[in-house]
Amino acid sequence: MSRARLARFIGQLERHLIASLLTGLGVMLLAAGLFAYVLPLGATAMAPSAAPGSPAPTVPSAPASAPPSAVSSPAASATPSANPAQAVATRVVIPALKIDLPVIDGATEKPGPNGQPFPYCNVAAYLSAFSQPGRPGTTYIYAHARAGMFLPLLTASQIDNGAGMLGYSVLVYTSDSQVYWYSIAQVKRHVALGPHQFDITKVAPGVQQLVLQTSETPYDTGPRLQILAKFELVQPATYATAHPTPHPQVCA
Please report, for the domain that includes residue 28, its CATH number: 2.40.260.10
Residue 248 lies in a domain: no
This prediction has a pTM of 0.69
Q: How far is 148 from 27, CA to CA, in rounded Å?
A: 5
| 18 or 251: which leads in pLDDT | 251
How much is the pLDDT for 12? 56
Q: What are phi and psi of 249, to 5 degrees?
A: -130, 140
pLDDT, tens digit, 9 for 90 and up, residues 13-27: 454 443 443 333 332
Confidence at residue 77, expressed as pLDDT on a 0 to 100 scale:
39
Is 106 within a domain?
yes
Residues 6+ apart with CB under 8 A from 191: 197, 200, 223, 224, 225, 226
> Is residue 113 very low, low, confident or very high in pLDDT (cuts 50, 70, 90)?
low
Print the domain residue range for 194: 3-59+70-242
Residue scoring higher pLDDT (171 or 115): 171
pLDDT tens digits for 55-78? 444 445 443 323 333 233 333 334
Domain membership flag for residue 250? no
- Supply angle C-alpha 149, 167, 1, rounded to 5: 145
225's enclosing H/E stretch is strand 224-236
In a domain, 64, yes or no: no
* CB half-sphere exposure, 130, CA atoms < 13 A: 26
pLDDT in tens, 187-229: 999 998 888 899 999 999 999 999 999 989 887 778 999 999 9
Total domains, the chain: 1
75, part of any domain: yes
Residue 191 in domain = yes
